[in-house]
Amino acid sequence: MGQLYYANATAPVEMNDRLLAHVKVVATTKLRRQESFTLNIRGEDGRETLWIHSSIPLRFVFSSAEPESLNPVFLQSLAESASSTAGLTVDIDDEVPAAHQQQQPRRRAA
């Protein structure tokens, strides 16, 4: 399990390494651009929302020494979510699609 340390909290948010790797890429990209956003985290214990801003310390700790493979379609979906007014929402109990699995684009109703 990976760990996300936010601000001065001593208890991290835990999620699998693959999901944390995707969240890390989205968060660091947005923060590099000086873009703040909300990170909504859902799990079996409920949900919480973090305000992600470049002035707030953020640390990613992975249980594996090897980097995770990223799914570009899932990564794009998370990036779009992070740019929305609702913010980036992740469910720590869900599995991240494998890098070779492509999510089907949503079709618009006619």
Residue whose token pair is 């779009």:
80
Decide if 81 is inside a domain.
yes
What Rg value do the Cα atoms of the chain yield, rounded? 14
- Residue 98 CA to residue 74 CA, distance in Å, equals 9
Decide if 108 is inside a domain.
no
Domain count, the chain: 1
Residue 74 is part of which domain span? 2-86
Q: Which spans in 47-95 are helix H?
A: 72-82
Q: How does pLDDT run along the chain (110 residues), one tens digit per residue?
A: 999 999 999 999 999 999 999 999 999 999 999 999 999 999 988 999 999 999 999 999 999 999 999 999 999 999 999 999 999 999 998 888 876 555 444 444 54
Decide if 33 is inside a domain.
yes
DSSP letter (8 states) at residue 71: -
pTM equals: 0.86
